[in-house]
Structure 1
Amino acid sequence: MTSCTASPGYVRGPQMWATCMGRMGPMTDEGATITEWLDRLVAGVHLGPKATRVRQILTTQPTYCSYATAAEVADRAEVNGATVVRFAQNLGYPGWPQLQEDLRRVYLAHRYDARQPGVPDGDLIAASLTRDVANLQALQRSFDFPAAHTIVGAIRDAHRTVVVASGTHAVAAVAFAGLAASRGYPVTHEDRGGPHLANALAGLRAGDCLVAWSFWQHYRQTVAALRVAREAGATTCVITDTRHSPAARGADHILVVPTEGVSNLQSMTAATSVAYALFAELAATDPKTSRTAAHRVDAVWRELDLFTEDTPDHGGGRAPQQPKGSDKGSHGGS
């Protein structure tokens, strides 16, 4: 391997990936997709079964791999961390961080590219569903049940709980907060940011809880909210995609869920599944109170006439209206 005349620096193999005198000169095949880029990198390199699994994870989960540690990538590939490091070194890199740096560049260059290499006939619908199934299977294998029970306990015992999430990260958070509130728990969701978030955080005290849903790329206000809550003495819980994320740093309790999607988009399917799982466990901790609250919420919803008619119309006319207060089952805001 050729070395630079000045330190720090190196020039890596056939791709001439270089860092000399503090200047970075990556040769990441501008315009190449992740698959094409990896194909060129591994050309002529013998990959054993474990290295092949690492390469497959880089190809199918580039979003996650662009910020995950070597140990986390190894966990996804079902190998050990040393295998990931050796994989990078076999491609001419000093280690995983340098390979990841190039991977991130290629990924970001195609972040908004709608095409999905390797998908037969461009069937992204099937690819998306398959990816979500894989995420749920990975979640089931790696889910930290003790941490989940601890988070449920923290919410159950808290004087009040503030749920924080923004953008698409709020998909799961909205479901959890709304359902928890419908069962009588003092849970609110704040996604407006700015003064609204500041006011919600200012009231946090010891004995309160903050639950943040935050995935790559992390919103600054979500990370800041966790810091404010922690300084106020509140319990902090994070649902995120890696234990090393900015949101997870310093959190009391962490749940990690896979979020890889297709076309370089994140999927909130696994996160939403976790939201419903946490809610189900929370509601089950006090069935009587939960049931009473659900009936009350249902009655208020009906009093406000929020529901459309759902009785089948068999004769072409208007279906008979259910009398107010009739109990057809609790909707609870779902």
Structure 2
Amino acid sequence: MNDGVVRTAERVLDLFQGARLTPTQRRIAHSLVQHASSAAYLSAAEVAELAGVSQPSVTRFAMALGYPGYPALRRELRALVGVGAAPADNGDNATQRALRAETRHLEQMADQLSSLDAVRKAAGLLSASRPLPVLGMRAAGPLAAYFGYFAAKVLPDVRVLDGGGTMLLDRLDQARAAGATAMLAIVLPRYPRETLELIREARSTGLAVVALTDSAVSPAAEHADVVLPAPVGTQLVFDLHTGPMAMAMVLLQAMCDAAPEQTQARLEEFEATASRRHIFEA
């Protein structure tokens, strides 16, 4: 995926930011973002087939965004494609382009975080949960472990859920029985089915769900109480997760800010223990 396609997808996503969409409409939006360059030239019937929905659903989706119908939305999409389709060639190689795209992702996230309402709401839900389950399957597993490692320094009971199978449901039940009231779900492409199923199960048992995912219209968003979007880089063979990692640390910072005295006490206790046990060389 070249820089122009990345910018086009970002502009298409901006069309849907803040819109109150049904699960079906989120599926349509997600398909348009994932196929931004080509979707702008498809008919309503072709978009419906791409998203796996009915053609009237595509029309209702366009109207939900404030357009009189799908043709008006398609004209807007075509204009966006025209803006981003021909980036200037500044001589960068593929690796440089991929990393520069990550810089733009971080700048986009910084702009979106001019309001911290969603982050603070998420921090409040997660900070109050004892224990705190953190879900991350497949590609999201390392990020769940990374978040869990640092969160455990300031929270008394953090449980990373990163293994599949039926025992995963058992671990969720155990966390809820121990007093958990919320769960952080880190959901990255290609959206493992077992992750989405566990999120639905968590919601059905009364847990609040904070989804840290790649887009506001990702499949995880329709099942979450709070969505924290953080785009992933797609220009290398495997995705770059710079944005999601940054968002995870922004969220943890907000959790620390919500209870500064408790955070300080826990950190001092950890440092004293680390010193006594000679855990670190420096």
If the TM-score is normalised by the length of the shorter chain, which range does it land in?
0.5 to 0.7
Shift of 1:298: 2.5
Shift of 1:295: 2.0
Structure 2 matches for 1:171-250, cutoff 5 A? 171-203=142-174, 204=176, 208-250=181-223
Q: Is the 8 A contact 2:132 2:180 kept in 1?
A: no
For 1:243 and 1:131, the matched residues in 2 are separated by 19
1:268 pairs, out of 241, 260, 266, with 241
1:94 pairs, out of 12, 31, 43, with 43
Q: Which structure has the bigger radius of gyration?
A: 1
Counterpart code for 2:13: E
Moved more, 244-253 or 272-281: 244-253
Where does structure 2 lack aligned partners over 5 or more consecutive residues? 18-28, 51-86
Shift of 1:261: 3.3
Using a 3 Å threshold, how does the CA distance of structure 1 residues 155 and 97 change in structure 2: closer, same or farther? farther
For 2:242 and 2:162, the matched residues in 1 are separated by 19
Counterpart code for 1:72: L
For 2:266 and 2:90, the matched residues in 1 are separated by 49
2:6 pairs, out of 50, 53, 60, with 60
Structure 1 counterpart of 2:99: 129
Using a 3 Å threshold, how does the CA distance of structure 1 residues 281 and 90 change in structure 2: closer, same or farther? closer
Shift of 1:119: 7.6
Shift of 1:135: 0.5
1:287 pairs, out of 227, 237, 260, with 260
Q: Is the 8 A contact 2:139 2:188 kept in 1?
A: no
2:13 pairs, out of 69, 72, 88, with 72
Structure 2 matches for 1:22-171, cutoff 5 A? 57=4, 59-60=5-6, 65=9, 72=13, 74=15, 91=41, 93-95=42-44, 98=47, 101=50, 123-143=93-113, 145-171=116-142
For 1:266 and 1:165, the matched residues in 2 are separated by 16
Counterpart code for 1:172: L
Shift of 1:176: 2.1
For 1:250 and 1:100, the matched residues in 2 are separated by 23
For 1:283 and 1:195, the matched residues in 2 are separated by 33
Where does structure 1 lack aligned partners over 5 or more consecutive residues? 1-33, 36-55, 102-116, 311-334
For 2:134 and 2:39, the matched residues in 1 are separated by 42
For 2:40 and 2:202, the matched residues in 1 are separated by 45
**1:252 equivalent in alignment to 2:201:** no
Shift of 1:155: 1.1
For 1:190 and 1:89, the matched residues in 2 are separated by 36
For 2:276 and 2:48, the matched residues in 1 are separated by 60
Shift of 1:213: 0.6
Q: When the two structures are superposed, what TM-score results if normalisation uses the length of structure 1?
A: 0.58
Shift of 1:170: 3.0
1:182 partner SS: coil
Q: Is the 8 A contact 2:39 2:47 kept in 1?
A: no
Residue deviations 1:267-322, cap 9 Å, x none?
Answer: 21111111111111211222222112112222333444432x33xxxxxxxxxxxx
Using a 3 Å threshold, how does the CA distance of structure 1 residues 135 and 198 change in structure 2: closer, same or farther? same
Moved more, 260-269 or 131-140: 260-269
2:198 partner SS: helix
More RCO (CA 8 Å, sep 6+): 2
Using a 3 Å threshold, how does the CA distance of structure 1 residues 171 and 124 change in structure 2: closer, same or farther? farther
Q: When the two structures are superposed, what TM-score results if normalisation uses the length of structure 2?
A: 0.67
Choose between structure 1 and 2: higher helix proportion. 2
Q: Is the 8 A contact 1:168 1:268 kept in 2?
A: no
2:233 partner SS: coil
Using a 3 Å threshold, how does the CA distance of structure 1 residues 171 and 131 change in structure 2: closer, same or farther? farther
Matched-pair identity in %:
18
Shift of 1:199: 2.5
Number of paired residues?
228
Counterpart code for 1:60: V
